[in-house]
Structure 1
């Protein structure tokens, strides 16, 4: 068996970039092939169901990364809650390349993408909320406020990514993460 010329992780990162930049509908097979470093035929060999299967693989790849680097970080009770929060926010900066990358939720949340990935998006958002609610509770923030903070955090992160792109100003994303950290740490009882 011949070794694969393009490693799966590298290919998924490249495909992710196209989907993040163009959205599900806007990503052409030619752009996906070019980004992957494969010819269309080789790309279809790896993903027989075409663009849908590529997008699903990208979503799964990002979900795993977020689970390992954000959710588990926020839930790691071998560290103080303050350290977990700071590490989780640092990993969010990595996920979104300091605010330069769009969110996959946004990229897949239009027409066809939403109809194909609605359940994935919803489940991922619920896990974001649950993880931030847990860190709020670990910081001794009452349950009602922890739930509110968690939903606000998801909205603030997602909104700041859109505003960052629209204004071409990554300081918006940076300030949002600092504000989230301050809010949680200020909310401690």
Structure 2
């Protein structure tokens, strides 16, 4: 028998793929079951509150990943702000598979999901803004400049993911990430 922790990771990865691809409303229990390799009864055993609990688990899992891989990198004062930015943007590219993956905020903010997950989505976006705001301050931006840039980062990342999906061109995301780096490093 496999260790439970590995199984949890596999289940969350499967659930994440379905919610990213189909959103909350579009994700059927069959889709979720197929993606995790669990029968519907086993899914309900693990997630007694059903699909909403599964989506909450995905949000928590991704929040943990982003905090540990993106935010901690961007806020790591042991390395220069320039290096933090480059490493943090590399982690963002990894999070979104270089533009191939949809943002979970977008996927869960459609239809009924917006009401169910509004607080988590809002908090998550505020964390993104606060982290990039602090990075801006570390790069000697004024508070106003850092605030404007931080919000713009969120807009550019999220917007580029939507546009690259719609256009079928991941280079749009790559370009947006590069432009963020250029703006922060003034190059």
What's the CA shift string for 1:22-41, capped at 9, x where partnerless? 00000000000000000001
Pairing of 1:120-139 with structure 2 (within 5 A):
120-139=120-139
The one-character-per-residue Cα deviations of 1:56-107 (angstroms, maximum 9, x if unpaired) are 0000000000001111111100000000000110000000000000000100
TM-score normalised per structure 1? 0.96
Alpha-carbon distance between aligned partners in 2 of 1:155 and 1:77, rounded to the nearest angstrom? 25
Change (3 A) 1:45 1:81: same
Residues 84/52 of structure 1: CA separation in 2 closer, same or farther (3 Å cut): same
What SS does structure 2 have at the residue aligned with 1:7?
helix
Relative to structure 1, the CA distance from residue 39 to residue 82 in structure 2 (aligned partners, 3 Å threshold; closer, same or farther) is: same
The match for 2:35 is 35
Q: Report SS of the residue matched to 1:54.
A: helix
C-alpha separation in 1, matches of 2:32 and 2:14: 8
Q: 1:4, 1:61 → 2: CA distance?
A: 15
1:158-173 paired onto structure 2 within 5 Å: 158-173=158-173
| Structure 2 residue ranges without an equivalent (≥5) | none
**Structure 1 residues 5 and 65: alpha-carbon distance in aligned structure 2, compared to 1, 3 A threshold:** closer
Where does residue 151 of structure 2 map in the other structure?
Answer: 151
Aligned to 1:56: 56
CA RMSD of aligned residues (A): 1.6
Do 1:73 and 1:88's aligned partners in 2 also have CA atoms closer than 8 Å?
yes
Task: Name the counterpart of 1:174.
Answer: 174
Stretches of structure 1 lacking an aligned partner (at least 5 in a row) = none
Contact 1:6 1:36 in 2 (8 A): no
The alignment partner of 1:141 has SS state of: coil
In 2, the alpha carbon distance for the partners of 1:56 and 1:4 equals: 19
Runs (4+) off by over 2 Å? 1-6
Q: Decide whether the 8 Å contact of 1:74 with 1:135 is kept in 2.
A: yes
TM-score with structure 2 setting the length: 0.97
Q: Note if contact 1:136-1:146 (Cα within 8 Å) is conserved in structure 2.
A: yes
Q: How does 1:77-96 map to 2 (within 5 A)?
A: 77-96=77-96
